[in-house]
Amino acid sequence: MTSLQEIATAAQEIIQICEQKKTNKTDKEKLLKLQAAINSHIEDLTECEACGSIADLVVTMTIERVTAKLCKDCGINAIEAGKIKKPTTRRRSTRTVQKKASTTKKKSTRKPASPRNTDELYAEVEKQTSLKKTEVKRLDKIIQDIASPMNLENTILYVQREVDLAKLKIEQDVLKTAVTLLMAA
């Protein structure tokens, strides 16, 4: 039997077991064995490089310096035509790439600074707001995840909502100071 036929028979056995009114431990063990058999047969399957179909019998054929793994039908067609036709991948034009690039949302214009500068910034915010370093980092992450640049007032409102959703207990004045310092960097 071929791998595809083995998979089909194992699947039928699984269906028969699943249609039983009551199943027990031995049925579960049979299902696991059938699953393992199906997985091993699936690993034996290969893809035809010409048409993309999956088959258990694929032939590696070379004609005019072109080598490909072909299924039965594509192999016969290649012999009759005297050449192997591999599908070519379509190249995208530069216009579509530029169009997609312009439609994507822009991240915050602030670029991540060197680790030393961010550590200094976090230390400064900690000192002025008495927040923990983890809270400062979380606020900075919220600000950096904003899709497009906002003005300071809208950023503070946005961060306040995110802080409320995260159930962080940060006072509004402290939050405003921290966001202002993080945005200024």
pLDDT, tens only, 37-94: 888 888 888 888 888 888 877 888 888 888 888 888 888 888 888 887 766 555 555 5
Structure tokens at 166: 């995260």
Region of 36 on the Ramachandran plot (φ > 0 left; ψ -120 to 50 alpha; else beta):
alpha
74 domain-assigned: yes
> For residue 166, what is the DSSP state?
T
Winning range, highest mean pLDDT, from 12-16, 57-61, 175-179: 12-16
Q: Which domain holds residue 49?
A: 45-86
Mark whether 49 and 72 lie in a shared domain: yes
pLDDT at site 12:
92
Q: In this structure, are 37 and 70 located in the same domain?
A: no
Contact of 165 with 156, CB cutoff 8 Å: no
Domain presence at residue 96:
no
- Structural domain contains residue 156: yes
Q: Encode pLDDT of 114-152 as tens digits.
A: 555 888 888 888 888 888 888 888 888 888 888 777 788
The domain total for the chain is: 3
Residues 7 and 31 occupy one common structural domain: yes
